[in-house]
């Protein structure tokens, strides 16, 4: 298994999105680079190993506070396209656009894609389908 594939596997547990959805963002390789750069290879390796052995909720034990913070940061990176820990930063305009937060309600990142003329008059896709989204 390659490093990006391992990162996606770990991210599935953190985000609740499946592997195909995460890969489709096109951000896995760039996010892996950011995570290793910000956390360091050793801490990222411990996080990946911990998540491969446990569920994210089990990281909340006092001895694992550092890993819990790292897990939350990786999760926020996927959802917001921004690294939340110091120094906090938006990874890129593309990361903002590909943030998972928009997919939770079938939305689009404001200012990134036009929905087309008159689209404001249509209900969101999840409402139109009779569902509540993700």
pLDDT in tens, 33-84: 999 999 999 999 999 999 998 877 776 665 678 888 999 999 999 999 999 9
Kind and range of the H or E element at 23? helix 19-24
Backbone angles phi, psi at 82, to 5 degrees: -135, 145
- 103-115: pLDDT as tens digits: 998 888 888 876 6
Say what the pLDDT of residue 55 is. 75
Distances (CA, A) of 20 to 26, 28, 68, 74, 109: 10, 11, 25, 18, 20
Which pTM does this prediction carry?
A: 0.81
Say what the pLDDT of residue 65 is. 85
């Amino acid at each position: 298994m390659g490093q990006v594939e391992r990162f996606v596997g770990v991210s599935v547990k953190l985000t609740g999105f499946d592997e195909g959805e995460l890969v489709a963002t096109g951000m896995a390789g760039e996010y892996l680079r950011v995570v290793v750069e910000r956390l360091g290879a050793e801490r990222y390796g411990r996080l990946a190993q911990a998540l491969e052995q446990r569920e994210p909720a089990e990281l909340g034990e006092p001895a694992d506070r550092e890993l819990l913070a790292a897990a939350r940061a990786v999760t926020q990176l996927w959802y917001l396209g921004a690294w939340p820990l110091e120094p906090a930063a938006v990874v890129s305009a593309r990361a903002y656009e590909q943030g998972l937060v928009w997919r939770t309600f079938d939305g689009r990142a404001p200012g990134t894609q036009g929905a087309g003329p008159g689209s404001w008059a249509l209900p969101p896709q999840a409402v139109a389908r009779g569902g509540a989204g993700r």
